[in-house]
Amino acid sequence: MADVLPTESPADGQAGPDQAGQSQPDPPELALAQRALESGDYGACLRGLAPLADAHGASTPLGGRIRLLMATALMGQGDPAGAAACCRSLRGCKDLTLRQQARDLEEVLEAPALQRPRNWSVQMPSLGELELMEGGSPIQGWRRRPRPDPPPPPPVGTPKTPWGFALVALALLLLTTLLAGCVQVETSLTFPAPGRLQITQTSSSSTGQALPWQRDLATALGGGSVVVVRDHGRQSLRNQALPAGQALDWLGQSLVRGAALAGVSLPKPELELRERNWLIGVQQQMELAIDLRTLDSLPGLDLSFRFAPLEPQAIERATPRPVQVGPGPNELHWQLEPGALNRLAWRTWRWSRLGLGAGAVALLLGLALLLQRLRLRAGFGFPQLPR
């Protein structure tokens, strides 16, 4: 049976994170249990790990490593159901790497067994059928045969190299990587009024099914004023119209959190919106800088922004890809380039309905005063009521 050990685990005697986030040395029982697992003594490994699992919860990194070792030992004993239960207990682990390893191992353990057609193998006849084919009696043949020796005990030494399981795990890892890249993420910035900004982030999976990354992102960013809408492989995170500063802070948090859930470390994006109120309108100037140089280009990965309402002449700079017009009226579409530093700057003027109304009232009032003064100069006097 193949041993599935957690990757990037500290060596014997090195420090590992505890529940408070501080480093502490691994207990010596953990090293003894790992040696027993490597030597094939799965029973001793489970007996050594049981008290450690009771002392450390599944949400801690140390508890996650302990339960992954227990799942490996249970697989060695031929108990896939117990191993899958250990993997399910790690769904709330704070370590993203251990949680992903447990999820991948659980999918392998719970995969349905495939039925092999009979014509794929050659079936040998039993000894009794051979006796009948030769013309003898199966009972006489059984009496003449000596009792076979008992089967040898199962080996408990060092297991052989699990090349078959390693190839399956590698294939699953490559498949997960490809499926993780087959996703389109579009972030829409809508300006309903001066000083207000509404953000909608839509992710679409090319497989037609929701990806684990989409569910984790909705869990991390959902709640509050964020509305989550799912339709098979399409997921939308829509925020209410907020002040521009709060909306941009939420957008930067969503970009960093989404990259972390995908296993990519991205620098914090630079998002800035400057507004100047001239009573009858607001002058807006926005600059975006999103560094994707640490993100490799994957097939099917599509990252873009959409701005509405915004005119093409408002764009001052867009690199490395230009801004496209559409698809809707007064909308601009900007495609991001993985592996490059993406920059966008635009400046526009937005009229204020309240300011225009106040200006129109002031203009009409001034016109009325001017007409009254002209009437007085013409000698008509002040208006009087009819007698």
CATH of the domain at 80: 1.25.40.10
Total structural domains within the chain: 2
Domain-located, residue 104? yes
CA distance 300 to 179: 9
Q: Note whether residue 135 is domain-resident.
A: no
Residues 199 and 301 in one domain: yes
Q: Does residue 302 fall inside a structural domain? A: yes
Could you give the CA distance from residue 131 to residue 137 in angstroms, rounded to a whole number? 6
pLDDT of residue 387 exceeding 80, the answer is: no
% of the chain beyond a pLDDT of 90: 2
Q: Does some domain include residue 143?
A: no
Q: CA of 100: how far to CAs of 97, 105, 122, 150, in Å?
A: 5, 9, 40, 43
Q: CB atoms < 10 A from the CB of 373, how many?
A: 10
Residue 166: inside a domain: no
Chain segment 327-362, per-residue pLDDT in tens = 778 888 898 888 889 999 988 887 777 777 877 888
Write down the pLDDT at residue 342.
Answer: 93
DSSP per residue, 216-270? HHHHHH-BTTEEEEEETTEEEEEEPPEEHHHHHHHHHHHHHHHHHHTT---PPPE
The helix or strand, by DSSP H or E, that contains position 201, with its residue range, turns out to be: strand 196-205
196 and 340 in a single domain? The answer is yes
CA neighbor of 269 nearest in space, from 280, 258, 283: 258
- DSSP bridge pairs for 203: 185, 235
Helix (H, G, I), strand (E, B), or coil: what is residue 363? helix
Residues 54 and 192 in one domain: no
User: Looking at the domain assignment, is residue 121 inside a domain?
Assistant: no
> CB neighbours of 57 closer than 8 A, spacing ≥ 6?
19, 63
* Secondary structure letter of residue 58 according to DSSP: T
* pLDDT tens-place string over residues 205-214: 777 777 787 8
Question: How many Å is the Cα radius of gyration of the chain?
Answer: 35
Tens of pLDDT, residues 66-116: 888 888 888 888 888 888 888 888 888 888 888 888 888 888 888 776 666
> Domain ends where: 75, 109, 143?
109
User: Is residue 179 domain-resident?
Assistant: no
Q: Of 83, 109, 135, which marks where a domain is finished?
A: 109
Q: Is 381 helix (H, G, I), strand (E, B) or coil?
A: coil
Hey, what are 259's tokens? 């990259």
Please state the pTM of the whole predicted model.
0.47
State yes or no: pLDDT of 170 exceeds 60: no
For residues 66 and 204, membership in a common domain is answered with no
pLDDT class for 153, splitting at 50, 70, 90?
Answer: low
Q: Are residues 53 and 193 in the same domain?
A: no
252 and 336 fall within a common domain: yes
Name every residue whose Cβ is closer than 8 Å to that of residue 301 and which is 6 or more positions away in sequence.
181, 182, 183, 184, 338
The reply to whether 210 and 102 lie within a common domain is no
The larger pLDDT score, comparing residue 223 to residue 293, is at 293
**Who wins on pLDDT, 323 or 14?**
323
Residues 323 and 191 in one domain: yes
One-letter amino acid at 271 equals: L
To the nearest 10°, the Cα dihedral for 367, 276, 255, 89?
-80
Residues 234-247 have pLDDT tens digits of 888 888 888 888 88
Q: Does residue 196 sit within a domain? A: yes
99 shares its domain with 243: no
Measured distance CA(101)–CA(104) in Å, rounded = 5
Decide which of 138 and 309 is more confident: 309
Q: 239 and 329 in one domain?
A: yes
227 — pLDDT class (breaks 50, 70, 90): confident
Q: What is the extent of the structural domain holding 69? A: 15-109
Are both 92 and 213 inside the same structural domain?
Answer: no
